[in-house]
Amino acid sequence: MERWIGRVALVTGASAGIGAAIARDLVCFGMKVVGCSRNIENIQKLSDELKNEKGSLTAIRCDLSKEEDIINMFKTITSNESLGGVDVCINNAGLAHNAPILSGKTQEWREMLDVNVMAVTICTREAFQSMKERNVDDGHIIFISSMSGHRIPPNTATHFYSATKYAVIALMESTRRELRELKSHIRVTGVSPGLVETEFVYRMNKDEEKAKALYSSILCLKGKDISNAVVYALQAPSHVEINDVLIRPTEQTY
């Protein structure tokens, strides 16, 4: 990870869970991390905790469902003299609603599309443009997808969410092919976790007891596990592109 010391990484959805774990590790490795979320208090608290580490964490408020917010965030990064632009973009933010195909609410589907698909696409475009403008040809774009982007989960509540994660896998591979056509050395990686114990299920079900029951019924991954995969991809030698990492506990059966 030595080559990334002092470089800038954007981590979306950095206020909790996987995003917070990734932000923490990258700061400890010496990167200048920008963490974004609609609620940045937790990111600011994490930044204070990491103030004695080699890198730094800057919190930016951003509603990823709004393109204007995303564009303004990239402008803020560019105008900050200590940052200047993005070298690594980690598309981590995502959400799920309990919204089956046959009975879900249209607005909840739209919210999932806006955050899980559109925001990922816009951030990827803006990160690439940031790299291109500064002649950065060794950057890295990482997509945090899901095992639900590789198979349909048995729970009907997450079927539409699964569709958005299939889209993320397609975006990842399409980005890789477009970069290859441009003869760019910017690398692309997809990380697809199984069930991770975070606030994700609590937010989806809006039922703390159901979430606790689910997490206690199956061996879950931790945010640190996903962060380890991100670091693994970032520290690969320049001639190696780690395209898709699938991670799940050995006891997880689907």
Asked whether the beta carbons of 40 and 60 are under 8 A apart, the reply is yes
Known catalytic membership, residue 202 = no
Asked whether the beta carbons of 232 and 245 are under 8 A apart, the reply is: yes
Of 161, 166, 202, 232, which one is the catalytic site residue?
A: 161
Nearest to 89 by CA among 230, 229, 221: 230
Return the half-sphere exposure (C-beta side, CA atoms, 13 A cut-off) of residue 241. 20
Torsion over CA: 207, 38, 59, 195 (sign): positive
Pairing of strands 187-193, 244-247: parallel
Q: Where are the alpha helices (DSSP H) in the chain?
A: 17-28, 41-49, 67-79, 106-113, 119-133, 159-181, 200-205, 208-217, 223-234
The rounded distance, in Å, linking the Cα atoms of 60 and 239 is: 33
> 80 CB contacts (<8 Å, ≥6 apart)?
58
Annotated catalytic sites, by residue? Answer: 161
